Structure 1
Amino acid sequence: MIGLIGFALASVMAGLTPTAGLLFAGRAAQGVFAALLAPAALAIISATFVEPRERGVGFGVYGALTGAGAVIGLLVGGALTQYFDWGWCLLINVPIAGFALAGSRAVTADRPVRRVRHDLLGALSSVAAMTALVFALAEVAGRGWADPLVLTLLLVGGLMLVVFTIAQRTAAQPLLPLRVLLDRTRGGAFLAIGLPQLALFGFFLVLTYWFQQLLGYSPISAGLAFLPLALAIAIGSTLIAGLLGPRLGTRHLIIPALVVMAAGMALLVGLTPGTPELYLTRFLPAEILIGLGLGCTITPAVAAATSGVGDDTGAASAAVNAATQLGGSIGTALLNTVAAIATANAIRAAPGQNEIDGAIVAGFDAALLTAVALLVLAAVAVAVVMPRTSRSV
């Protein structure tokens, strides 16, 4: 409830701000309160639904809302931007938070079963590591990989990850107990959650550019173009994962789903703006494949990541949220960097105003090929880490 109220107030601050500085501060505050809210919500689902069938339905709904909610946000955001003002993309969170706050009364109140000592070193080292890595990837496009600042940030990020790992081994009450990650089924589930996010956030960005800059869609038309993706995610999370998950098991559902996502991403490589029926022949089938694959990945992966952890349910739920958000942040920085470098190289190779669109498409292709590789890597990683007899949850 604190997370909901804080998120609503931060959204008001960001949506009504007259300056960029206050906008960034409001967005940062949104992140702080979302970090309270999201793991708690997932922990409630995990602790409430313990019977296998109910648990599958609960995580199916969670997966559908997680994936489709982001897509629907693009549609609503496009409408608000086109007919009102961009600030309403943030202010719309206030009634949504109010609705969720009213519904939170139905959740049975609980009490902490034990006092927790704060793992300050673990918290600081993890924040420093992720900040340095995302900052480094964001700076590569303008500075290059050999730049001293980029190399320093990468070195600091790597060192802080080592410090974080040591802290989790030695702390009396670690921020993320390593036993949560060292179980092979849960470890594979975290890989299936985090690695695809590296590809997906950049995918959203590339498609938005395609729809609005190259194809000339209005904001609301671009939002509508994403709707089949939302429907496919919902179908994959609930119907397909619900039917096949208990029969195939977690591992045998996730690996093909990641390959299907990679195939959908590959459909978007090599497009040209003048191709007739481009949306129907390439974008629509790609969205369907990516949505179905994502839905079939999220539901079993989140269920496996939060099952069988006992008192560590909160830590496991927080790790799911962190993997999602950090994967998105790193993926956006990485794929933006890849696209920017490829575009710049294409412009240098063929300068001239008429070649700008071609250079932009070359950048998009490079980013999408990187996303395909990341999804294939995710499938291979899950196949290696998750045992063949991984439990169905």
Structure 2
Amino acid sequence: MRTQVCIIGGGPSGLLLGQLLHRQGIATVILERKTRDYVLGRIRAGILETGTADLLRQAGAGDRMDRESFAHEGTVIAYGDTQFGVNFHAHTGRDVIVYGQTELTRDLYDAREAAGAPTLFNVDHVTIHDAKSDAPHVTYHVAGTEHRIDCDFIAGCDGFHGVSRQTIPLSVRREYEKIYPFGWLGILSETPPVHDELIYSGSERGFALCSMRSATLSRYYIQCALSDSPEDWSDANFWEELKRRIPEDAADRLITGPSIEKSIAPLPSFVCEPMQWGRLFLCGDAAHIVPPTGAKGLNTAASDVHYLYTGLRQHYLDGDSDGIERYSERALARVWKAERFSWSTTNLLHRYPHQSEFDIKMQQAEVAFLRDNAAAQKVFAQNYVGLPY
């Protein structure tokens, strides 16, 4: 098989890149190791930056998002007895959009199928060959039979555990990592959201987040020990602990119900440099991971897609290779800023083991500064709605 761009990974970043390229007449094949249903069964983030939403529209997959999503003009920050709002729209003129990653991924799959672009599922033993040459190719197995795709470029959108990053020699890549000493226990429940905006809450008992997927579907999180498992937490215990960590007025109006999904996510920060090697380009979790605090994971993947799509479009349509040659440089410049925002917001509201009284006072001072300083709120809002590409 021959294509122009072979995309490894059928998650949102691979699908978004494929759809954008297809609309420019650039041929792609997507390889996905799981089934479509498996991919759509993964519960992930639901906050879209302005730039991410615009990319979905460019990809021809934004109609349902525009009909069914919620625009959020701001968020609520709480810490102990302190509670205040940060108005994104007032500070930046932009909002964020609440739209579940599962729905976004479904829209992109539907758009790709409608376009007749090929996506191959249940693919394993993917191997990248000759990425440093002018004629790279990818081999893979389906049902035990080996196949080959010859291509011009390879986009590694296959996540942290995928083969793409591992293809870059250790002598070339450098990896930066921070593991936070806690996780997030999250539940999904068929209950109305407790507030029409997200609530980020720090307390002496630890962090909590009140979020939503729709008017009838809520997503809640509490900071927990890395040694915990979801089975350690009954629904009743979760709701009781959540109420202790959020503002009293929110706790009083919280509507609880059975969880329909419960999981614990660790909080790593990770960046791989460079994000390209020859004709292989890394996108999204294959190159970097951020803590979920600040909702940057999916959005940072989308910014990678923007830079790679722009570079490939210029290469094929204009004969200009500057965009693909400088892809890693441009993507990483924005990635590190997103990492900084997630790191800063995580430090602002989480309770760390062995945290000293001085450390706690510094957290309280940081929260008070954000509450009282319009310039600080503007910087927070600029980062949250998404820095420009």
Instruction: Say yes or no: TM over 0.5.
Output: no
Per the normalisation by structure 1, the TM-score is: 0.27
Q: Which has the higher contact order (CA 8 A, sep 6+)?
A: 1
The structure with the largest helix share of the pair is 1
Q: Under a length normalisation based on structure 2, what TM-score does the superposition of the two structures give?
A: 0.27
